[in-house]
Amino acid sequence: MTSFAFITGSSKGIGKDLANLLLSKDFVVHGFSRSNSLKHYNFHHHKTDLANINKINSISFPKIDNVKEIYLINNAGEIGNITKIGNKLSSNIIEEVNINITAPILLSNLFIKTYKSIQSRLTIINISSGAALRPIHSWGTYCISKSGIDMLTKIINEEHPNIRALSIYPGVVNTEMQEKIRNTSDEEFPLKQKFIDYFNNNELSDCKTVAEKIFYIMSNLSQFEQNHISLRDF
């Protein structure tokens, strides 16, 4: 039977590598992003901007019957303007919150509403961050929204025992976000050197490896009793 996956942020980084991996495993994949370079007969791109609340609300999920499993993977994330609360533009805060937590809440709500009555296995995977667990200087909006992602995972598991929700912590990954962090001024981000050292010491995970670990979890859900999983653990 066919497996379906809906992935936000499918145009680059973890989202793109995960989409490619799932396509190689005969998944039907729907990607949501501003742009797209993936070409595959089982890939369906939905051009959207998750920073825009009206664009999020215009998203719909297709009717699906008689499939093995359906995944929603809330992968899109934005660290935004790296600066202290009190220095940020209100417009930047709104965009960052929309991408990082408003979109996942709205899409999870729509996903559950659309598919809760069918017999397929439903799983929601939220890509979280270690930033959800502690405050990081100048990452305020990102920390706040990622902690919200973890609570979304808990709420879904509390309210819908037949749907599995997971928060996955990828670790420090070689993405455009890391490059942005390294290029931030020392004044704005006092921990900058730590992230430069990660890069210089080849301590960043690559997106392909992260995608493979996420797929392993998807393929072996029964082995994972916990719903908050750090990829550094395996």
Is pLDDT above 90 for 1?
Answer: no
Q: Where are the domains of the chain?
A: 3-171+206-233
109: confidence class by pLDDT, cuts 50, 70, 90: very high
pLDDT(233) > 90: no
Can you state the percent helix, strand and coil of the chain, rounding each to 5?
45, 20, 40
The whole-number average pLDDT for the span 85-93 is 96
179/181 Cα distance (integer angstroms): 5
Average pLDDT, the chain: 96
Q: Report if pTM > 0.75.
A: yes
CA 85 to chain centre: 24
36 pLDDT above the threshold of 90: yes
Q: Please, are residues 126 and 144 in contact by the beta-carbon 8 Å criterion?
A: no
Q: Is the pLDDT of residue 228 over 90?
A: yes
pLDDT of residue 204: 95
Q: Is 142 a catalytic residue?
A: yes
Asked if residues 32 and 76 have their Cβ atoms less than 8 Å apart, the reply is: yes
- Tell me which of 71, 115, 142, 169 is the catalytic residue: 142
Q: What confidence score (pLDDT) does residue 162 get?
A: 95
The whole-number pLDDT of residue 11 equals 96
Where does the pLDDT of residue 234 fall: very low under 50, low under 70, confident under 90, or very high at 90 and above? confident
Rounded mean pLDDT, 212-216: 98
Q: Where are the alpha helices (DSSP H) in the chain?
A: 13-24, 53-57, 90-97, 103-115, 140-159, 176-182, 192-200, 207-219
How sure is the predictor about 130, in pLDDT bands with cuts at 50, 70 and 90? very high
Give mean pLDDT, residues 85-102. 97
pLDDT confidence of residue 66: 86
Residue 136 has pLDDT above 90, yes or no: yes
| Mean pLDDT of all residues in 219-228 | 95
Question: Mean pLDDT, to the nearest integer, of 127-143?
Answer: 97
CATH of domain 3-171+206-233: 3.40.50.720
Indicate whether 126 pLDDT > 90. Answer: yes
